[in-house]
């Protein structure tokens, strides 16, 4: 039993469980993107692989954006009432969100050009690799630190509100 929340170890409230489940799908998409990144780095069918990477990044972003919104507009402020938001875990999580989104945005803007040199393809691919590396570690930190804190600190009513509010996004 977790002495703070009365829940069994590993058991989480519905809202946090949903955010954690979303990480599973996002991680799978990140792994698929990484496979394409490696093909480009190894000069395997670069043009077609880059086209696939663009499609994959668009699909990933479509899933990442609402997930990030749920965290940034609901979870972070709720937990921030207890631990603050200007420094510490929430500030780090928000910074990592910004970094990853910036890499993805820059990639997509650069990838819009019809003809792209192989050097530019490699540079743009590096942006996706950076986002991959940030988010892979980021999801682990959220699950092991932030979600654990939220489970322990938020009241049952706040956990219900968290779940209700993230369903609206």
What sign does the CA torsion over 141, 28, 44, 125 have?
Answer: negative
CB–CB of 26/60 below 8 Å?
Answer: yes
pLDDT of residue 10: 56
Separation between Cα atoms, residue 124 and residue 108, nearest integer Å = 9
**pLDDT block averages, 10 residues each, the chain of length 169:** 40 93 97 98 95 98 98 97 93 97 97 89 97 97 95 96 96
What sign does the CA torsion over 43, 47, 48, 52 have?
Answer: positive
Superfamily for domain range 14-167: nmb1532 protein domain like (1.20.120.520)
pLDDT of residue 71: 97
pLDDT of residue 115: 84
pLDDT of residue 6: 37
Residue boundaries of the structural domains of the chain: 14-167
Structure tokens at 143: 């699950």
pLDDT of residue 114: 78
pLDDT of residue 147: 95
Task: Determine what percent of the chain falls in helix, strand and coil, rounding each to the nearest 5.
Answer: 80, 0, 20
Torsion of CA 131, 133, 135, 136, to 10 degrees: 150
């Amino acid at each position: 039993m977790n002495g703070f929340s009365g829940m069994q170890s590993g058991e989480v409230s519905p809202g946090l469980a949903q955010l954690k489940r979303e990480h599973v799908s996002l991680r799978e998409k990140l792994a698929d993107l990484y496979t394409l990144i490696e093909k480009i780095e190894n000069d395997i069918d670069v043009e077609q692989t880059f086209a696939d990477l663009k499609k994959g990044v668009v699909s990933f972003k479509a899933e990442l954006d609402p997930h990030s919104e749920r965290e940034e507009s609901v979870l972070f402020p709720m937990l921030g009432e207890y631990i603050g938001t200007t420094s510490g875990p929430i500030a780090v999580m928000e910074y990592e969100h910004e970094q990853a989104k910036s890499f993805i945005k820059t990639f997509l803007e650069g990838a819009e050009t019809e003809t792209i040199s192989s050097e530019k393809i490699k540079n743009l691919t590096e942006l996706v690799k950076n986002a991959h590396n940030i988010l892979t570690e980021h999801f682990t930190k959220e699950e092991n630190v932030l979600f654990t804190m939220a489970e322990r600190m938020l009241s049952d009513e706040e956990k219900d509100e968290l779940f209700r509010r993230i369903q609206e996004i």
